A and B are shown apart, each in its own frame.
Chain A
Amino acid sequence: SAVISQKPSRDICQRGTSLTIQCQVDSQVTMMFWYRQQPGQSLTLIATANQGSEATYESGFVIDKFPISRPNLTFSTLTVSNMSPEDSSIYLCSVEAAYEQYFGPGTRLTVT
């Protein structure tokens, strides 16, 4: 298994600002994933981050809005840029280990 921590656990931000979410894993993993979870909706994959290469974004998500860093095999950040109230959501970091996918506790973001 993999143990994942995220910071911050929650935040309230002003419209137009940016927030960087950190994800730390207790073991080295090749792929890290960032998801968004909105009330009443499925988990939506934002992007996949491999160490040493650019993140791969899903349809509807762009690097300018959600820049991702992956400096090593245990850490990644997701930035939510120029935020609007529509970005209010839970953001989840996830990793794949031994053919199973694990999730962090999430970052609950509210944009006012």
Chain B
Amino acid sequence: QKEVEQDPGPLSVPEGAIVSLNCTYSNSAFQYFMWYRQYSRKGPELLMYTYSSGNKEDGRFTAQVDKSSKYISLFIRDSQPSDSATYLCAMRGNFGNEKLTFGTGTRLTIIP
């Protein structure tokens, strides 16, 4: 079993819809949770960063962490064609020497 599981998609939704992207994980030591967005032929770009459980909102994006269920989500409201990209979740236990563990990424397409 992988430490981090993420549905690879592809996921296609109409413009304006709410998008829900999810990851599950098995390591209860993870405390820092990140979402990266990666456009085609570009490097991953940090989108949201959350510590421990709870919600964090940034514009149209909301990150949720439920440590009891080992489940994290990224919601995109009022989705735009420019949101079309691959979204990767990543997590780690502590900063310092501990590495990030990534999901495989979900490929999202917003249809105009």
Binding site for B on A (CB under 8 A): 4, 33, 40-43, 45, 48, 58, 92, 96, 99-106, 108
Binding site for A on B (CB under 8 A): 2, 4, 8, 32, 34, 36, 41-46, 49, 88, 90, 95, 99-105
Is B41 a contact partner of A108 (Cβ separation < 8 A)?
yes
Closest B residue to A58 by CB, please name it: B99
Is A106 a contact partner of B88 (Cβ separation < 8 A)?
no
CB-CB < 8 A to B102: which residues of A?
42-43
Is A103 a contact partner of B43 (Cβ separation < 8 A)?
yes
Is B49 a contact partner of A103 (Cβ separation < 8 A)?
no
Give the complex CA separation of A34 and B104 in angstroms. 17
Is B46 a contact partner of A106 (Cβ separation < 8 A)?
no
Give the complex CA separation of A48 and B100 in angstroms. 12
Give the complex CA separation of A105 and B41 in angstroms. 8
Instruction: Report the minimum CB–CB distance from B49 to chain A (whole Å).
Output: 6
Is B43 a contact partner of A104 (Cβ separation < 8 A)?
yes
CB-CB < 8 A to B90: which residues of A?
43, 101
Instruction: Report the minimum CB–CB distance from A50 to chain B (whole Å).
Output: 10
Is A40 a contact partner of B43 (Cβ separation < 8 A)?
no
| Given known contacts A43-B88, A45-B99, A48-B99, A106 and B42 CB-to-CB distance under 8 angstroms | yes
Is B41 a contact partner of A43 (Cβ separation < 8 A)?
no
Is A105 a contact partner of B42 (Cβ separation < 8 A)?
yes
Give the complex CA separation of A19 and B16 in angstroms. 44
